[in-house]
Amino acid sequence: MALRTALKPLRKSLLPTTRAFSTELPRITERRPNETGRGGRASDAGVKVALFGATGFLGRYVSSGLGSNGTLTYIGTRGDEFAYRHLRPHHELGRAKFSYYSSRDKQSMADIIADADIVINLIGKYYDTKALENTDSFPFLNYKVSTSVWEANVEVPKMIAELCTEMQVDNLIHVSSAAAGNVDSASEWARSKAEGEKEVLKAYPWATIVRPTQMFGHEDKLLNLFAKMAERF
């Protein structure tokens, strides 16, 4: 009995108490001046980056790196939502803007760049892509080139560089290839890469040119090809 009496005050102190909570939550997050955070997804790096070619092999890693450092990223895409949905988890909510563009529509590409501080171009092709079109004669279909190697590796980078000059973008990073050093190469792809660099530097002389060699990763098309062959045969 004495023990029960002694424990009464303790039991009362452990009982949940009713508190009044405000239901008025802020609807817009306001950033204080000079507030950038300690780094990471939820921070604000204070840099805006426009990214072209984000859905490619290298692009997904660049997108992840930008998102991991709190960079506000404008991502251009030519596909539907399913083409870039794997990029959404890279960025904190509201830190990435996905917009459709056409490589033959200069204004749509300018809309992607907008007020970006840095533009990164990863667009490139190894071969011509083709599509079917209707014809008036049998077999009523024709297999035509929709996007050529020359267009992807020369014309598009040239347009991006010209836009960067017109819109006074601070930095342009153009990813080319180590093969671009040989302008007389027997490979049309290597020649197109070399010509693309030339056009970019003509339109935007202070551009940063990156020349990687063969790139490897979980989704690459070289090692995975050999792995599949080894698994099958």
Q: What is the dihedral of CA 37, 42, 45, 46, to 10 degrees?
A: -90
Helix spans in 115-233 (H): 149-150, 156-166, 188-203, 223-232
Show Cβ contacts of residue 147 under 8 Å, excluding neighbours closer than 6 positions: 103, 125, 128, 129
Give the count of alpha carbons within 13 A of 115, CB side only.
Answer: 3
What percentage of the chain's residues is helix, strand, coil (to nearest 5)? 40, 20, 45
Query: What gap in Å lies between CA 151 and CA 128, rounded to an integer?
Result: 9
Q: Specify the pTM.
A: 0.78
76 within 8 A of 52, measured Cβ to Cβ: yes
Query: What gap in Å lies between CA 180 and CA 201, rounded to an integer?
Result: 13
pLDDT in tens, the chain (233 residues): 555 555 555 555 544 554 454 445 444 445 555 665 556 777 888 899 999 999 988 999 999 999 998 899 999 998 888 889 999 999 988 899 999 999 899 999 999 999 999 999 999 988 888 888 888 888 888 888 888 899 999 999 999 999 999 999 999 999 999 989 888 888 999 999 999 999 999 999 999 999 998 888 888 888 888 888 998 88
